[in-house]
């Protein structure tokens, strides 16, 4: 589906197509593109029932722009009565008894979920190769990764199967796959979208968001997803802006900070050239470029890969074979139950991060690693605070390279972690950021990242939308996709 959510909504309200027919098209497209391996669960029965309810609402001319619009949930959001696996053997047969807040909110506006998207196991990865259900393929080149951990969501949108998908972003897991797949990915401010029912990886970093073709589409979806939730202690009780109305504001006077650290060593020349061209386009639209520095940017990766694994070690301790999830057969003791269940249920990358996190939290190493990483986190956040005294948004490449080949970095975890070099600092600081298509290098999509102060999602969406009105990179589709 290469048309926008607003265009689909208009067609539905003018009875040019029904929600049921639109949903059938999405289901058929998903089945025809099964070789992408982007879906874990296809809920065709539930989707068609929801579409019929949406058609009844449309007949009465009630509801929001999202009524009858098909989409997919990342398989990290709990869905009542539908298995939620987190792409792990540990939860391969887990069927939640409740819905996540994000699931409730999108169901409440009668958007139609057709299933659950593949992902890196427990959201740990940058390539979507760490899934118990197998790797997802990039629609632009099936030999390449779609990015991770929300790679299934990104691939489904890029392939035109659905107009949007939910995702989560702990260190770049929405923005990086959006860049690799040539779509738009929005990570809101930490606390803007409820984490209730979103299976935890790193609780102080995890953030729900949206992947779609355009900033305009993201604005419609964020309107439904954002808001305070008393069930989530980290949810912020702050007013939700009118994201759609904010899209039309001209960019004259917008100050864009260009961080020299984001365009330095390690960034492919082709990526840098595309980003520079995009910045020139912003100047044509009336924005002013300001040279800035984020002096602690180089510390983001080491700080993140202490803090995130430490929180994962704590969060994943609940999977022990006792209460729910995978359980080893015929344990001989409690220790055997724990060790074999976790060894069988968790994949290699999840085990690696649990071990790193447990070590960082252990007696004698807590101060040297975890506490020091938290101090660095404060410095990184302070860098952004200082920068936003003189600029409105910060721009740079989303990723240092285009999508790499399947298996290319699987044997080198450090090289894989480096794929998030420009994204993790945003999560450490709890800020909103968006990745939008800005061009191509080596025949593959390149993403431009924009970062804004806390709760300035409307500013981000406006800046991205105005760029997309002047360019057509977001409208480009992989070969063979309608």
Q: Mean pLDDT in the chain?
A: 96
Active-site residue flag, 149: yes
Q: Residue 103: inside a domain, yes or no?
A: yes
- Domain membership flag for residue 92: yes
Using pLDDT thresholds of 50, 70 and 90, give the confidence band for residue 265. confident
pLDDT band at 68 (very low <50, low <70, confident <90, very high): very high
List the catalytic residue out of 101, 113, 131, 149.
Answer: 149
Q: Residue range 381-400: average pLDDT?
A: 98
Range of the domain at 214: 5-249+435-445+456-475
Q: Is residue 236 part of a domain?
A: yes
Mean pLDDT of 115-122: 98
Residues 6+ apart with CB under 8 A from 122: 76, 86, 87, 88, 199, 201, 312, 316, 350
User: Which pLDDT band holds residue 436 (cuts at 50, 70, 90)?
Assistant: very high
Q: Is residue 158 part of a domain?
A: yes
Position 280 scores a pLDDT of: 98
**Tokens 């290319």 sit at which residue?**
408
Q: CA-CA distances (angstroms) from residue 405 to 26, 90, 142, 228, 421?
A: 28, 27, 9, 40, 18
Pairing outcome for strands 255-259 and 288-292: parallel
Structure confidence at residue 62 as a pLDDT band (50, 70, 90):
confident
User: What pLDDT shows up at residue 306?
Assistant: 97
Q: What separation in angstroms does the CA of 147 have from each of 153, 291, 457?
A: 10, 29, 23
Report pLDDT digits (tens) over 405-428.
999 999 898 889 988 999 999 999
Identify the active-site residue in 4, 88, 173, 441.
173
Model pLDDT for residues 130-143, shown as the tens digit of each residue: 999 999 999 999 99
Q: Is 173 part of the annotated catalytic residue set?
A: yes
pLDDT tier at 481 (50, 70, 90 boundaries)?
Answer: low
Cα–chain-centroid distance for residue 210? 6
Instruction: Kindly state whether residue 355 falls inside one of the protein's structural domains.
Output: no
Provide mean pLDDT across the span 378-400.
98
Whether the predicted pLDDT of 348 surpasses 60? yes
CATH code at position 238 = 3.90.1300.10
- Asked whether residue 214 is assigned to any structural domain, the reply reads yes
Q: Which residues contact 355 (CB under 8 A, 6 or more apart)?
A: none
Structural domain total, the chain: 1
pLDDT score, position 5: 97
What does the pLDDT read at residue 363? 86
Residue 482 has pLDDT above 80, yes or no: no
**Is 328 a member of any domain?**
no
Give the mean model confidence (pLDDT) for residues 34-59: 97
Instruction: Using the predicted structure, report yes or no on whether residue 393 has a pLDDT greater than 90.
Output: yes
SS3 per-residue string spanning the chain: CCCCHHHHHHHHHCCCCCHHHHHHHHHHHHHHCHHHCCEEEECHHHHHHHHHHHHHHHHCCCCCCCCCCEEEEECCECECCECCCCCCHHHCCCCCCCCCHHHHHHHHCCCEEEEEECCCHHHCCCCCCCCCCCCCCECCECCECCCCCCHHHHHHHHCCCCCEEEEECCCCCCHHHHHHHCCEEEECCCCCECCCCECCCCCCCCCEEEEECCHHHHHHHHHHHECCCCCCCCCCCCCCCCCCHHHHCCCCCCEEEEEHHHHCCCCCHHHHHHHHHHHHHHHHCCCEEEEECCCCHHHHHHHHHHHHHHHHHHHHHHCCCCCCCCCCCCCCCHHHHHHHHHHHHCCHHHHHHHHHHHHHHCCCCHHHHHHHHHHHHHHHHHHHHHHCCCCCEEEEECCCCCCCECCCCCCCHHHHHHHHCCCHHHHHHCCCEEEEEEEEECCEEEEEEEECCCCCHHHHHHHHHHHHHHCCHHHCCCCCCC
Are 347 and 316 within 8 A, CB to CB? Answer: no
**2 catalytic residue (yes or no):** no
Q: Is residue 97 part of a domain?
A: yes
Average pLDDT over residues 455-480: 96
| Whether pLDDT at 342 is above 60 | yes
């Amino acid at each position: 589906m290469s048309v926008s959510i607003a265009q689909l909504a208009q067609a539905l309200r003018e009875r040019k197509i029904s929600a049921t027919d639109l949903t059938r098209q999405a289901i058929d497209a998903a089945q025809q593109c099964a070789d992408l391996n982007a879906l874990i669960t296809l809920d065709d029965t539930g989707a068609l029932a929801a579409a019929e309810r949406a058609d009844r609402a449309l007949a009465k001319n009630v509801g929001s722009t999202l009524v009858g619009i098909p989409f997919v949930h990342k398989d990290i959001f709990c869905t009542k009565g539908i298995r939620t696996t987190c792409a792990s053997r540990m939860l391969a047969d887990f069927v939640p008894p409740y819905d996540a807040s994000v699931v409730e909110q999108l169901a409440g506006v009668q958007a139609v979920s057709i299933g659950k998207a593949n992902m890196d196991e427990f959201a740990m990865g940058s390539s979507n190769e760490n899934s118990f259900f197998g790797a997802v393929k990039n629609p632009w080149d099936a030999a390449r990764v779609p990015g991770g951990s929300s790679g299934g969501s990104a691939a489904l949108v890029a392939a035109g199967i659905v107009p949007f998908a939910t995702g989560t972003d702990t260190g770049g897991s929405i923005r990086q796959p959006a860049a690799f797949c040539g779509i738009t990915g929005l990570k809101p401010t930490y606390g803007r979208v409820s984490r209730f029912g979103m299976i935890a990886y790193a609780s102080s970093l995890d953030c729900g968001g949206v992947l779609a073709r355009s900033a305009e589409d993201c604005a419609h979806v964020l309107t439904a997803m954002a808001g305070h939730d008393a069930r989530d202690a980290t949810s912020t009780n702050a007013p939700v802006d009118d994201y759609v109305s904010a899209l039309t504001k001209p960019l004259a006077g917008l100050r864009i900070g260009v961080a020299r650290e984001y365009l330095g060593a390690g960034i492919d020349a082709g990526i840098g050239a595309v980003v520079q061209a995009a910045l020139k386009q912003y100047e044509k639209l009336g924005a002013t470029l300001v040279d800035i520095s984020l002096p602690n940017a180089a510390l983001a990766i080491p700080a993140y890969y202490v803090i995130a694994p430490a929180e994962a070690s704590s969060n994943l301790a609940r999977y022990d074979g006792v209460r729910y999830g995978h359980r080893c057969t015929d344990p001989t003791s409690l220790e055997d139950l724990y060790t074999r269940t976790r060894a069988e249920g968790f994949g290699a990358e999840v085990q690696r991060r649990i071990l790193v996190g447990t070590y960082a939290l252990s007696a004698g190493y807590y101060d040297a690693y975890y506490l020091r990483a938290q101090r660095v986190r404060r410095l990184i956040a302070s860098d952004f605070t200082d920068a936003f005294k003189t600029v409105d948004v910060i721009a740079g490449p989303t990723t240092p390279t285009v999508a790499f080949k399947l298996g290319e970095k699987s044997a080198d975890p450090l090289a894989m972690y480096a794929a998030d070099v420009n994204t993790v600092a945003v999560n450490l600081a709890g800020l909103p950021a968006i990745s939008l298509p800005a061009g191509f290098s080596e025949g593959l999509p390149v993403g431009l990242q924009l970062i804004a102060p806390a709760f300035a999602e409307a500013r981000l969406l406006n800046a991205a939308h105005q760029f997309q009105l002047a360019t057509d990179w977001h409208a480009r589709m992989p070969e063979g996709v309608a």
